[in-house]
Chains A and B, each alone.
Chain A
Amino acid sequence: MNTFAEIVQSNQAWLCLDCGKCSSVCPITLHLVDGYTSPRLLVEGAVNSGEDRVLEDPLLWSCLTCQRCTEICPSGVQFSEFIHDARQLAWEKGQSGDCTHSGTIQSWMRMMTDPALEQNRLDWIDDDLRIAPESEVIYFPGCLPYYDTVFGDLDVEGTEIARAAVKILNHLGIEPMVLENERCCGHDSYWQGDMDTFRKLAELNLEAISQTGAKRLVTTCPECAYTLKSTYPEQVGSLGLEVLHITELLAEDDNLQKLFPTNSPELYPVTYQDPCRLGRFMGIYQQPRDLIQNLGYQLVEMDHYAHTSTCCGTSCWTTCGQLNKKVQSERLMEARSTGAEKLITSCVKCQIHYKCAQRDPISGSEIQIDIQDLTTLIAEKI
């Protein structure tokens, strides 16, 4: 693809020209601080004004690829995919959004494309956790060991989530494999438009995973789950096994039975953040809710939940600023207004972004609510 107009064509985004329906739900359109943009205006720019107009549009770089637009689109336009294709073209022209965290995360992704790399990424595995050199189940922790280092000051549950996952799997009688040389899944490179890095990472993972002979792969990160399950087969090839987010596995009938053999005592009210990849991308809404209810919590939903859930406000470690903080602060206020005592997340990135937003001294107590990952909550109960 050579021009943005061709990308409009291949994604049927010309349907947007007569529409604009999703401007009413797009968090970027809603919260943009300087000026105004919308999915429809971006497409119009691509068709009428050409390259410069597209590259200047803040939506090109700040779109969260959250699929809130796709959810209500009357014409079936996959606007997030349009954004991906446009970012890929921009990338090929040497342009990209601003990397957050000084580009550390993008650097380690690119460093992981070295086939000779021998990482030390398993230090989080305590002696009381059982993993096996061969198993039918792989646990794929993704970049959690790295997040511990970069986001330690935010009290983010990084490898605590990984330890909790293995503890639960052990409780269910599963001793998973954990790969010594797993690479970043490439989700963020893909959505940033850096297809070269994405393909290299994906090919290394494909080779490492497919030679294990495992039948199932479990992740605690919805972005890893979606990428391994859906993006890999489209772009590099299928892993030849079933990919599951941990909530899918745990909500299977016999696992629910083993985890919660008796009724749990009734606990305080909590609310739940649907991650975009787990919810709108993979359609997994009910399983985390079943688990929360089985734990004994009273689930109170936010105004925007399940299909209409709001994204955690930052995507692919690119472009984070006032606009993103507004999306996050509003969402945290929404969570508080339910009366819940805890906001449950099932994606480490949602947790990172909300805990970072909570550091904002101006918003103060209005956005304070306890945040915990569903996996660690379940692990505490067993």
Chain B
Amino acid sequence: MNKVAAKQKIILFTCNWHAFSSLEAAGKNNLVYSPALVPIRISCLGRITSGIILKAFEGGAAGVCLIGCPEGECRYQNGNQEAREVFEESRTLLRLLGYNENLLQYHLVSAGDGESFQENIDQLVKNIQDNRKTR
């Protein structure tokens, strides 16, 4: 088993719908994605708060990714819009705290599309890892 040191972990918050089904599809199709990712499924990405995001960084996470349903397709109408606001607020807080704001990433994915999930998530992980040096 590939053990990832706590310091390198990237926390992936996924909603229960489009985002999680694309993650599952990637798994079913044996598509490989970064072992640094630690997925945490929440009912809706609108459930995320800046407190939860900061808590991940406080605990030593290398980065945080938020993935949810495409615009207009949130199961609960506007969860992804709320998540977008939390994302912006959290980036500002990270910047104030002297963290590189790119350590927090946000992306919307379509249901069941494992390949696009793999591609996008690879890019998010790369964005985070490229920005790690600064903090």
Which residues in A have some Cβ–Cβ distance to B below 8 Å? 99, 101-104, 106-108, 110-112, 117-121, 145-146, 149-150
Contact = CB atoms under 8 A, between A and B. Distances in A.
Contact of B89 (A107, A111, A120, A149): A149
Given A111-B58, A112-B97, A150-B89, 5 more contacts: A102-B49, A103-B51, A104-B54, A108-B93, A111-B97
A119 B92 CA distance: 12
Contacts of A104: 49-51, 54, 93
Q: Which of A111, A112, A121 has the most CB of B within 10 A?
A: A111
B97 A110 contact: no
User: When A and B form their complex, which 4 residue pairs have the shortest distance between CB atoms, in order from nearest?
Assistant: A102-B51, A102-B49, A107-B54, A103-B51
Contacts, number: 51
B57 A111 contact: yes
Interface string B43-77: 00000011110110110000000000000000000
Contacts of A118: 98
A119 B98 contact: yes
Contacts of A101: 50-51
22 contacts: A101-B51, A102-B49, A102-B50, A102-B52, A103-B54, A103-B55, A104-B49, A104-B51, A107-B54, A107-B57, A108-B93, A110-B58, A111-B58, A111-B97, A112-B97, A117-B97, A120-B95, A121-B96, A146-B93, A149-B89, A149-B93, A150-B50
B96 A119 contact: yes
Contacts of A103: 51-52, 54-55
Contacts of A150: 50, 89, 93
B121 to A, nearest CB: 25
Nearest to A149: B92
Nearest to A112: B97
B96 A99 contact: no
A119 B97 contact: yes
Contacts of B55: 103, 107
B8 to A, nearest CB: 18
Contacts of B52: 102-103
A106 B50 CA distance: 11
A99 B54 CA distance: 14
Contacts of A120: 95-96, 98
Contacts of B95: 120
Nearest to A145: B96
Interface string B74-98: 0000000000000001001101111
B51 A99 contact: yes
A108 B54 contact: yes
A104 B93 CA distance: 9
